[in-house]
Amino acid sequence: MSDPDFDRRVVPTEDTTRREGAHTHEADWIGAPTPSVVLLDLDGVVWLAHEPIAGSVEAIASVRAAGARVLFVTNNSNSTIEEQEAALEAIGVPAGGDVLTSAMAGATLVHPRERVLVCGGPGVVQAVQRRGAIAVEAGPCEAVIVGFHRTFTYDGMRRAVEAVHAGARLIGTNDDATYPTPDGPIPGGGAILASVEVGSGTRATVAGKPFAPMADLVRTIIGDDAAAAAVMVGDRPSTDGRFARQLGCRYAHVWSGVTPRGTAVDPHPDLVGDDLGHVVRQLLG
Residue range 194-228, pLDDT digits in tens = 999 999 999 999 999 999 999 999 999 999 999 99
Q: Is the pTM of this model over 0.85?
A: yes
Q: Does 199 share its domain with 225? A: no
- Domain count for the chain, please give it: 2
pLDDT class for 37, splitting at 50, 70, 90? very high
Query: Final residue of a domain: which of 188, 206, 224?
Result: 206
Query: Final residue of a domain: which of 171, 206, 241?
Result: 206
Instruction: For residue 69, give the CATH number of its domain.
Output: 3.40.50.1000
Whether 236 contacts 263, CB under 8 Å: no
Residue range 130-176, pLDDT digits in tens = 999 999 999 999 999 999 999 999 999 999 999 999 999 999 999 99
Residue range 146-156, pLDDT digits in tens = 999 999 999 99
Domain for residue 34, yes or no? yes
Domain for residue 189, yes or no? yes
Domain for residue 82, yes or no? no
Between the CA of residue 134 and those of 82, 138, 139, 193, what are the distances in Å? 20, 12, 12, 21
The whole-chain average pLDDT of the chain stands at 90
Residue ranges making up the domain that contains 254: 21-75+210-284
Q: Does 218 share its domain with 202? A: no
Query: Final residue of a domain: which of 174, 206, 238?
Result: 206
The β-bridge relationship of strands 169-172 and 178-179 is unpaired
Q: Which amino acid is at 233?
A: V
Give the pLDDT of residue 285: 79
Q: Does 121 share its domain with 56? A: no
Give the pLDDT of residue 28: 53
Q: Does 43 share its domain with 124? A: no
List, in sequence order, every beta strand (DSSP E) within the chain: 37-40, 47-48, 51-52, 69-74, 99-101, 115-119, 134-136, 143-146, 169-172, 178-179, 186-187, 205-206, 231-234, 250-254, 271-273
Domain for residue 13, yes or no? no
